[in-house]
Amino acid sequence: MDKREAQAALLSLGYDMGETGPKKDGVDGDWGKTSKTVCAIFQRGRGLAAMGELTPATIKALLAAVAAKNDGAGQPGAGAQLPSDWLPPARISRVIVHWTAGNHRASQLDRSHYHILIEYDAKLIRGIPSIAMNDAGGVSPGYAAHTLNCNTGSIGVSLCCMAGAIESPFNPGKAPMTREQWAALPPVIAALCRRYDIPVTPRTVLSHAEVQGTLGIKQRQKWDVSRLAFDPIVIGAAACGSLMRAAVSRLL
């Protein structure tokens, strides 16, 4: 398996490889920053050393993952990242993305507010409330209270980051969002969209910062996610949200 084949394998497993190459899908044979980041996420999920390099053990794991997908032994694409018991039956209409405004590891408080959290190194953490508690038919006691007046039928996904961040002038604080977290986000959202039949639109897959403007539900000056600490050129909730939805759509 060469680098181009490895990129194609990761793409087939539901990872966002970027927009380079002839088909603008990230398959270009250049093992650059995006490929290394995605490879490290794959390695971490398989219990391998997350070096981002195409090692023999990584190639073996990639071949096994693709074979399992093709044989129907595993879930296709992005769904392979989330255990089935994280995805109970529920009526869900949207996914809302946040940052915790905390440190890079999920605290007990963080876990009480969100269904799924992504730590700085792309490790996925299950929140305390079940997704079923936020059913569209009405929330249950102990539900994930992640968005003001918009928790019913909403899954809360949060990146563990941005403690002490300041919106203007922008300062990402002591725990800035990492590229690894952002890269791990689209496969998680895509898995949720597959499971709960959620279309990818600005009203159904959005960040907390987009809720007030898009859904008309007043929030308390929330600006997550309207900046990417690792890419300061991207500014504003709409810009970040559009990038996020485009990446999720490519996986579906």
The CATH number given to whatever domain includes residue 154 is 3.40.80.10
Region 203-230: what's the mean pLDDT? 96
**pLDDT range class, residue 72, cuts 50, 70, 90:** very low
Residues 98 and 57 in one domain: no
pLDDT in tens, 87-119: 999 999 999 999 999 999 999 999 999 999 999
Residues 121 and 39 in one domain: no
Are the beta carbons of 53 and 36 closer than 8 angstroms? yes
Query: How far is Cα 41 from Cα 183, in angstroms, rounded to an integer?
Result: 8
Q: Give CA angle at 77 (74, 78), nearest 5°.
A: 105
**pLDDT range class, residue 189, cuts 50, 70, 90:** very high
pLDDT reported for residue 212: 97
Q: Map tokens 């039928």 to a residue.
A: 153
Residues 92 and 65 in one domain: no
Task: For residue 137, count CB atoms less than 10 angstroms from its CB and return exposed for 0-12, middle for 13-18, buried for 19 or more.
Answer: exposed
Domain boundary among 74, 90, 106: 74
Q: Map tokens 């009480």 to a residue.
A: 112
> Domain span at residue 156?
81-251
CA dihedral 75, 76, 80, 83 (to 10 degrees): -30
pLDDT at 252 over 90: no
Q: Map tokens 């299950």 to a residue.
A: 126
Region 227-234: what's the mean pLDDT? 90
pLDDT in tens, 150-187: 999 999 999 999 999 999 999 999 999 998 899 889 98
pLDDT reported for residue 94: 98
Task: For residue 121, count CB atoms less than 10 angstroms from its CB and return exposed for 0-12, middle for 13-18, buried for 19 or more.
Answer: middle
Region 49-65: what's the mean pLDDT? 90
